[in-house]
Amino acid sequence: MLSSVKNQIQYYADTISTVTGLDVEVVDTSLVRIAGTGTYAAGVGTNIKQAGNLLKTTLKGSEPLFIENPRKNPICEGCQTKSRCKELLSICAPISDGNTTYGAIELICFSPDARERVITQRDVYTNFLLLLANSIADRVREKQELQDIQGLLDVMSEVVNMNDKGTLIFNAQEKVVYNNQRAQEILERTTRSQFENFTVAPTGITFSGQDEYLVEQEDRQQFVIGKKLNLTAATSSFSSVFVFDTLQSAVSHTQQGIDDDTSLNHIIGSSPLVYTLKEQIRATATTNSSVLITGESGTGKELVARAIHATSDRAGAPFIAINCGAIPDTLLESELFGYVGGAFTGALRQGQIGKFELAEGGVLFLDEISSMPLYLQVKLLRVLQERTITRLGATRPISVDIRIIAATNDNIQDLMQHNTFRPDLYYRLNVFPIQTPPLRNRMDDLTLLINHFITKYSSLFGKKPITLPASVMNKMRKYSWPGNIRELENAIEYLVNIAEENGKINEHALYDGFLYSQETVQPSAPASSTRPVIPLKELEKQAINRALELFGNTTQGKRQAASSLGISLATLYRKLDQ
C-alpha cells in the first residue's frame, strides 16, 4: 500500500534528510525499501530482509525503537550485514493508523556529532518520527479510500453501462459530467454535439409511472420517458441524475409477458383457406405497407394483425390496438393523437400520449375502422401520407414511424357509396388486403379448433379434459356458427365449466338455446286464424323507423340504430335505399 504514495514519501525523506542531516529509510511490510536517502537511495525497490533486523522488530510492535548502539543491541544479533554496518544510532517507528500497519520508517546517524545531537534531544526526534509515521499512514489510508471510491465508481459505471436505460449525471452548472453508452444511442440523432448546449424539460405527461421529457438541441427534438432525480447532499458536486428510455422501449416493457400467442402457429387450422391466409401473412412480413383485414365478426382479425406484427421486422416493437367503434367520436381523436394539458374541456391537466406515439417503431391496429368519423378519416389519411402527427393543443409536428393495420366487418364499398367512408383513405389502407374466412367455410378445421379450446380451458380451470358426446359433435358440425370462432370458443368454455369430474358432458344439463340455429326452427302455428299476417318487409321497416326515431337521423344516430338492430351500418343504408 505504501507504494501507492511512494513519490510523496520520497519527498518527505529528502526534505527531512536535508533539514536534519540524518538519513531516512522507509520499508513496507514485506521489507521492500519504498524510499531512502544517502546510501539507502540506491536500494529503493529492493528487499532488505537480510539487513533489516531493526525494521523487522519495529513492524511487529506498535512502539518506536531508539537504538543508541545498533551493532551492540541484542536486536542486531544474527544480522547478516552486521560486520559491514556503519550506523551509529537508529530511531524506528511503525507506519500505522492504529488498525493496520503499512510499513516502518527509520532515521539513521552516521556521524558522532549527529548522534550526540539526537541523544540530547531524544524525545523531540522520537515524537517527530511518530508524527511523520502517522502522517504517512493517513496519506496511505486516504489514498486507499480514494482508490476504493474510484473502484466503486468503476464498478458502478460498468453496471450503468450494462443497464438498458440511458443515464446522464449533471453537475451544479447543469452540465453533463457523465453519460453511458445507452444514453448516447438513444439521443444520437438529437444531441449531435456531445451533450452540450441542449435542454431536458418535462412536458407534464406521464406514462406507466414515468415522466415524459422533451430533449432539444438547436432545431432537433426528441421525446423520452424517465425520471430525473435531484441530489440534495450538501457535499455533492452533482446536482441531478437523469435515467431515461425511448417511449418505444417503455411500451415494449409494459407488453412483456402478454399477448404471447401471436405467431402463425397460433392460427389453428390446416384447411386450404387457412393455408392461404398464412401465406398472405408471411407475404406482408417483408413490407411496411398498410394492411386492411376484412371478415365477419369473430373470425380472428386481431389475431391475424398480431401474427403480421410477430412475423415482421417490427416484432420487437410495440403492438398497439384500439377499437374505433368502442370509443365515442369526441374521445377517439385524443386517444389517437394525444394532447397537451388543458387542450380541451375535461382533458387531464398533465396531458396524454396518443396511440400513434405509443406505437412508435411498431404497429397500430385500428379495429372497426369503418366506425371512424369522417373528420378523423381525413386526419388519418394525412398521417399515412406525411408520417407526422400533432398532439391536440400543440403546434409542433412529431414524426412517427409506424405501420397501420386496419380491420372491419362492414362492407366498405357500401359505406363509400353512402359517403360515410372516404375512398382515398380506403385506397391507402387497402394496399395489402386480407380476408379472414368464416368458420362455416372451413369446417375441416373444426376438430382441431375444438381440441385446442378444450386443452386451453381444461388447463385454465384445472379440470380433466372433456369428452364431447357424438350428438354434440354432430350438432356442432351441422351448426352454421354465425359468431364464428369466438362463438365456438365460448361454447367450449361453457362445456368445460359444466363437465362432470370424469370429463363427461351431461346432455340434459345443456341450456335450451345451446347451438340454437334459426335454420332448424320450425314455424309455429298462429295463435289465432283471424289474426292478420304482417309481411316481413313491413315489420323490418317498422323496426328501422322506431330505431331512427329513438337514436336520431344523424350519422352517429344511424350507427347506434344499426347496432341496436343487430345489423351493420352499411346494411342499414342499403335497406333505407330500398
Tell me which of 397 and 571 has the higher pLDDT: 397
Cα atoms in the Cβ-side hemisphere of radius 13 Å centred on 565: 27
pTM: 0.63
CB atoms inside a 10 Å sphere around CB 421: 25
Alpha-carbon distance of 537 to 54, in angstroms, equals 121
CB atoms inside a 10 Å sphere around CB 193: 9
Residue 1 DSSP SS3? coil
Give residue 212's region: left, alpha or beta (phi > 0; psi -120 to 50).
beta
Cell 446522464 belongs to which residue?
168
Residue 572 DSSP SS3? helix
Tell me which of 299 and 75 has the higher pLDDT: 299
Q: 89 with 118: CB under 8 angstroms?
A: yes
The pLDDT assigned to 249 comes to 83
Helix 112-120 crosses helix 122-162 at what angle (to 10 degrees)?
90
The pLDDT assigned to 234 comes to 52
- Beta-strand pair 403-408/291-294: parallel
Write out the three cell numbers for 284: 406482408
pLDDT (mean) for 531-549: 74
pLDDT tier for residue 336 given thresholds of 50, 70 and 90: very high
Dihedral sign of CA atoms 532, 536, 542, 546 in order: positive
Is the pLDDT at 181 greater than 90? The verdict is no
Amino acid occupying residue 519: E
Alpha-carbon distance of 277 to 256, in angstroms, equals 27
Write out the three cell numbers for 324: 374505433
Amino acid occupying residue 235: T
Is the pLDDT at 306 greater than 90? The verdict is yes
Strand partners, 403: 363
Is the pLDDT at 492 greater than 90? The verdict is yes
Q: 433-454, pLDDT tens digit by residue?
A: 999 999 999 999 999 999 999 9
The pLDDT assigned to 559 comes to 79
Alpha-carbon distance of 129 to 269, in angstroms, equals 91
Is the pLDDT at 193 greater than 50? The verdict is yes
The pLDDT assigned to 412 comes to 92
Helix, strand, coil share (%) of the chain residues, nearest 5: 45, 20, 35
pLDDT tier for residue 406 given thresholds of 50, 70 and 90: very high
CA angle 120, 123, 128 (to 5 degrees): 115
CB atoms inside a 10 Å sphere around CB 502: 8
Q: 213 with 227: CB under 8 angstroms?
A: no
Cα 454 to chain center, whole Å? 35
Tell me which of 347 and 533 has the higher pLDDT: 347
Give the alpha-carbon dihedral of 441, 447, 452, 453, to 10 degrees. Answer: 80
Residues 6+ apart with CB under 8 A from 459: none
Alpha-carbon distance of 44 to 393, in angstroms, equals 75
pLDDT tier for residue 39 given thresholds of 50, 70 and 90: confident
Q: 195 with 179: CB under 8 angstroms?
A: yes
Residue 228 DSSP SS3? strand
Q: 110-164, pLDDT tens digit by residue?
A: 989 989 999 999 999 999 999 999 988 888 888 887 777 676 666 666 666 666 7
Write out the three cell numbers for 368: 372497426
- In Å, what is the CA distance from 32 to each residue of 52, 88, 91? 10, 23, 18
Query: Which of 261, 266, 303, 308 has its CA nearest to residue 284?
Result: 308
Mean model confidence pLDDT for the chain: 85
Cell 450538501 belongs to which residue?
234
The pLDDT assigned to 521 comes to 36
- In Å, what is the CA distance from 424 to each residue of 86, 329, 367, 429? 106, 21, 18, 9
Is the pLDDT at 258 greater than 70? The verdict is no
Sheet-wide strand order for 65-67: 33-36, 23-28, 101-109, 89-96, 65-67
CA angle 295, 297, 302 (to 5 degrees): 75
Q: 9 with 26: CB under 8 angstroms?
A: yes
Write out the three cell numbers for 343: 387542450
The pLDDT assigned to 549 comes to 75
- In Å, what is the CA distance from 219 to each residue of 23, 192, 197, 213? 68, 11, 12, 16
Q: H or E element: which one contains 26?
A: strand 23-28
CA angle 21, 135, 100 (to 5 degrees): 120
pLDDT (mean) for 7-28: 89
Helices then strands, counting H and E runs in the chain, come out as: 19, 20
The pLDDT assigned to 529 comes to 41
Q: 318 with 248: CB under 8 angstroms?
A: yes
The pLDDT assigned to 373 comes to 93
Cell 380433466 belongs to which residue?
464
Residues 6+ apart with CB under 8 A from 25: 13, 33, 35, 36, 37, 40, 55, 105, 106, 108
**Residue 149 per-residue DSSP state:** H
**DSSP assignment of 241-261, as one string?**
EEEEE-HHHHHHHHHTTS---
Alpha-carbon distance of 231 to 171, in angstroms, equals 10
Alpha-carbon distance of 35 to 42, in angstroms, equals 9
